Copies of this chain bind each other. A is one copy, B any other.
């Protein structure tokens, strides 16, 4: 398995486009299309929020019931959430529009939306946008990039990745793009993630791999603890790589899983590092925890703490806050057995151990905490399980962006 250039159009048979449709934003791309020349098996994971946006309800039904899918239409600017029946009608209108233009069944069209909640969708502008998308779609890297740009909201960089691997002796490719900042704790600007692959795999194994991979990637990041109404992660597999269908968990499944996991972790880290207002990627690695779930809970508690995030932003080695966040995570442990380290810029210092502060140079600590990627390394000394979580620091700009997001 190795990373290659490109994104959502890297796998065989996939095309994309990104256009200006004026849904809400002006003078920027705000609609994207992913299209596969061959029918795809689809798998998805969706927000756990009780309040689900219309496109989430739409996609859940399609993924569960449709025999195949062939296109995804996404808009940024308006989330189509808390919009009642009118919101569902908007999804149907979009799907009809795309189905007619792409000459595929309406049940083969997935929908995604991200942006402001509680605002109704301008269906005319969406349909005009879909016309443009259908006319411009292409299988080029440029078209993939254009789609990745069109789904951005407060993102500062587009996010895409592609890898190649071998399945059944054939070269297969996974391409992906995403926007936003989280799955369990995403930013209101929502996590949307789209993965395309030409590998030939059964629907059951596709869904199984996706569910498993999400646990240690998208579900381990957080920007602000708010779980969106719109979070969606979809995988489309069109089988054009030509490998014999993967129907069981052998070598080929392992190769696909490894590639999918790489893509998911790559994008998850990208999202965390591009959290709203972030100046750095803030990673927490917990080792030697009693259980896997303990390790995950502890790591997430630290990266979710406003006080830890603010300390990272201030390059302030206020390590007590990190112990405090471990302590209120809900996991039971003996604080006297914990070793706490900070890592950054290639160096590492221990700040706490044997139940008391360690001697360290504040100057060195500040330098280390000024790195673009800072890791808090926690050794629990109570088992052998490990987990890593990714977040970002809490800056003035986070407040600025969110105090007036709608204007």
Contacts and interface: CB of A to CB of B under 8 A. Distances in A.
Interface of A: 48-52, 79, 81-86, 116-120, 187-188, 224-229, 304-307, 310-311, 313-314, 316, 318-321, 323-329, 331-333, 335-336, 351-352, 354-357, 394-396, 398-400, 402-407
A226 B225 CA distance: 12
Contact of A228 (B85, B324, B332, B336): B324
29 contacts: A49-B328, A51-B323, A51-B335, A81-B320, A82-B323, A82-B352, A84-B336, A85-B356, A116-B320, A117-B323, A117-B324, A119-B320, A119-B357, A188-B324, A224-B307, A225-B305, A226-B307, A226-B321, A226-B325, A226-B328, A227-B327, A307-B402, A310-B398, A310-B399, A310-B405, A313-B399, A316-B407, A395-B399, A396-B400
B51 A327 contact: yes
Contacts of A51: 323-324, 326-328, 335
Copies in the complex: 2
A99 to B, nearest CB: 26
A316 B405 contact: yes
B226 A305 contact: yes
A82 B356 contact: yes
Contacts of A83: 356-357
Nearest to A357: B118
Contacts of A357: 82-83, 118-120
Contact of A403 (B118, B119, B224, B311): B311
Contacts of A329: 50
A84 B355 contact: yes
Contacts of A85: 355-356
A93 B305 CA distance: 33
Contacts of A224: 306-307
Given A49-B324, A118-B352, A188-B321, 5 more contacts: A118-B319, A187-B307, A316-B403, A394-B402, A399-B399
A320 B403 contact: no
A335 B225 contact: no
Contacts of A331: 50
